[in-house]
Amino acid sequence: MKKKTVISLLCAGVLTVGAFTGLTGFADKDDAQDNTENFTMLSAEDTEDVDEADEVKADGTITGVADVAAEVMPAVVSITNKSVQEVQDIFGMYGYYFGYGQPDGGYTIEQESAGSGIIIGQSDDELLICTNNHVVEGATEITVGFVDNEIYEAVVKGTDAGNDLAVVAVNLSDISDDTLDQIKVAQIGNSDDLVVGQQVVAIGNALGYGQSVTTGIVSALNRTIQLDGYDNTQLIQTDAAINGGNSGGALLDMNGHVIGINSAKVAESGVEGMGYAIPISYAQPILEDLMNKKTRTETVEEEDSAYIGITGESVSSEMTEYYGIPKGIFITEVAEDSPADEAGLQRGDIITKFDGSSVMTMSEMKDMLAYYAAGEEVKVLVSTADNGEYKEREVNLTLGALADYQDLSQD
């Protein structure tokens, strides 16, 4: 992976991202510890480094917005997502003959979107960064820009689309010592202690122009909004300005602790001062699960390709809203004697997570399976209808060999 020079971009498409922040000094490469089996995010109660920083203030707190910004900026990163989007050619077939688009009347374009992220952990091999799922969704290439204006390539480690959360990883071996000396790991606060009227600070890559700081108060607690991923989440409402690019960034208390992940902004005409954040106490266990996933960057060889043995379809937002059906893949058929059948999956079950990452469509499942070899055991989270309500259960599923399945289907 190549180190690149930072260029701030205002890009088409999604400009929203996650940002955590922290006060704890970042460990040197040689001092890194392997926490990949049991990662936890750094809380205020777990470190003395933050206390030492706070002692600069007479009352042991960071009281000014400028102080908060100075402390947390080293933990904030910018994220650029390169993706390919299919576009319907308005000229149709005629456009193709005149040099526009493809024979089917459509074409693809490469686009970039800009957002933010926060450094939340380190293993022996990786630097781990939290962001929103929609920031990295569909990415063909992801790059991360640090406080010293250096950019490095990153990969998606895990996602939870249902809660709009994701963790990306950067190889420590790719990061220069100069960069490591200037960055920090996030420190996590407690959103359960928030009160209405409390002052907060938001930091993020607003409009893709670079990191910026806004301030406001907690306007309300336990708000719900009708957007994908937030239907049942009790959100923090704030009047701190949240714009494209830093939506999904860090919401901080005046100690510089992350208490929310800025995730949505009401952008309707005549509406101002209404931003929303996922409470960090709700997000933390989800993020820790994603941090502990195995990073998969290489697809398996064709002879090792795996299969599950189901057909299914996506659960629509309307079905979730009106009938309470969980979002995921609704199983319409289970192949006899397939891995899914042997694991106890059945028609009507809804797969919501595969190996800790949320999954919404069969195409997403297919893309995930490309990184798993036949014979691997994977945990699958399934919702099953029981007396009018859905109950979750975790299933251990051993992946089958796709080649064997294809041989059987041809007999």
Which residues does the annotation mark as catalytic?
134, 164, 247
Residue 6's alpha-carbon distances to 3, 60, 148, 174, in angstroms, are 9, 36, 9, 15
Measuring CA to CA, which residue among 52, 41, 78, 341 is closest to residue 191?
41
Would you tell me how many other CB atoms lie within 10 Å of the CB of residue 374?
Answer: 20
Q: Which residue has the tokens 């697809």?
A: 299
CA distance between the termini of the chain: 45
Would you tell me how many other CB atoms lie within 10 Å of the CB of residue 376?
Answer: 15
Measuring CA to CA, which residue among 312, 303, 318 is closest to residue 352?
312
Work out the burial of residue 90: count CB atoms within 10 Å of its CB; fewer than 13 is exposed, 13-18 middle, 19 or more buried: exposed
Find all residues with CB under 8 Å of 177, minimum gap 6, and list them: 28, 29
Would you tell me how many other CB atoms lie within 10 Å of the CB of residue 9?
Answer: 17
The H-assigned helical ranges of 309-389 are: 317-323, 339-342, 362-369
